[in-house]
Structure 1
Amino acid sequence: METRLVPYETLSMLQKQQLDSLQVHPEQLPFCGDIYCALNSLRVNPNPGIKGFALLADDQPVAFLLLKRPPCLPHWADEHSATLHALQVDRGQQGRGFGKACLQALPDAALLAWPQIKGIELSVDTENVAAMGLYLGAGWVDCGEAYKARVGYERRLKCAIAESTTLDL
C-alpha cells in the first residue's frame, strides 16, 4: 500500500469529502479534537500560518494533521519551528502504521511548506499514553514542560529537521 502526506489544498473534491468523515475513537477526542474542528481552521479563517495535510493510502485519506507557524505559533514553541496539531488517524484505520507514516513524512512536508524552519514541535498530554509512545518511538525528543494542562503539564516534544531532507509531495 502506497502512502503519501499531501497538502490539504491539493486534495480532490472527492478526497475532501472522504476526509470529512474521518473519525477517531471517542476517548481520543479530548487530545486531538475532531476533524470538523481541525478543518474549520482551514476553511473558515484561512491563514498562511496554518497548513493542513492528509495522509493518503492508495489515494484514500486515512489521517490528517495541522502544522502552524507565526502568527499562529503557540507561546511555548521556538520561533524557528513549526508545531504539529490535531494528528488524527481514522479509527477504522488505526493500528496499521498510518500515524507513524505521518510522522516519517512530516519533516519533508513541513520543509516544503516553510523552508526556513529548523524543527517541528508539539505538546502532548502525559495521559495520552498512545501518542507519547508514538512520538517517542519515532525519535521525537522530550524537551520538558510546555504548559499547565487539565491534569498536570503537557510535555513539549521536538523533532529536528535535516536541511538535506527533500520529498516530492
Structure 2
Amino acid sequence: MGTVRLAQYSGKYKEQLSRFHLPEQQLEFTSMPLEKIKNPHISNNTAHVLILENEDPVGYFALEDGEKLHKYSENDQARLLTSFSIDSGQQGKGLAKKGLRLLPAFVRDHLPGVDEVVLGVNKRNEAAIGLYLKTGFVDEGEIYVGPKGPQHVLHLRI
C-alpha cells in the first residue's frame, strides 16, 4: 500500500475522476465525485476533498456548510461530510479508514475555525456506519429522516 493523504480537489484530477466507478447499490447512498463537484446547488464554500494514494485519487468526499448542514447540526462551526466514496477498484484495501483518520488534521490545516464534522448515514448502510464509528465519529442517538429514509447523525469533534 502506498502513501495515503487528503488533498483539496483541483482540475488536474478531473481526467482520473472521470474514470471513477461505483457499483449501482452504492450509488443509492452517495454520488459520483465529478457530479458533486459540478453541482451548482451546493455552497461555494464546500471543500471537495480527495483521498489520494501515491497521488492517484482513490476516494472523494465533500465538506459542506450552509443550509444543508443545518438539517444535521446547530453548530455554525461544523461542516457536513457528504458523498463519501472509494473507487470500486480500490475498495477493501483500508483506504476509506486511512482517509477518514486523516480528516481531523486536514480540517485543522485547511478549514480554520471548523470544530466539528457531522454526517448522516442511512440506517441500512451498515458497512458505512461501522467505518465511521471506527474512525472517531460518535453516534449521539440523533436521527434525521431524509428522502432515502432514516439516517444516524454522527459527530467528529475536531
TM (normalized to structure 2)? 0.88
Residue 19 (structure 1) aligned to one of 5, 9, 17: 17
Structure-1 residue corresponding to 2:145: 148
- CA shift digits 1:10-52 (9 cap, x unpaired): x52xx321012211121110111223421223xx568442110
Structure-1 residue corresponding to 2:110: 113
Between the aligned partners of 1:18 and 1:85, the Cα distance in structure 2 is: 20
Amino acid at match of 2:15: Q
Alpha carbons 1:145, 1:153 under 8 Å: kept:
no
Structure-2 residue corresponding to 1:3: 4
Which runs of 5 or more structure 1 residues have no equivalent in the other structure? 162-169
Shift of 1:57: 0.7
Amino acid at match of 2:8: P
Residue 33 (structure 2) aligned to one of 35, 45, 48: 35
Shift of 1:106: 1.2
Structure-1 residue corresponding to 2:65: 69
Which runs of 5 or more structure 2 residues have no equivalent in the other structure? none
Between the aligned partners of 1:74 and 1:28, the Cα distance in structure 2 is: 25
State the percentage of identical aligned residues.
28
C-alpha RMSD of the superposition = 2.0
Shift of 1:118: 1.2
TM (normalized to structure 1)? 0.83
Residue 91 (structure 1) aligned to one of 74, 88, 93: 88
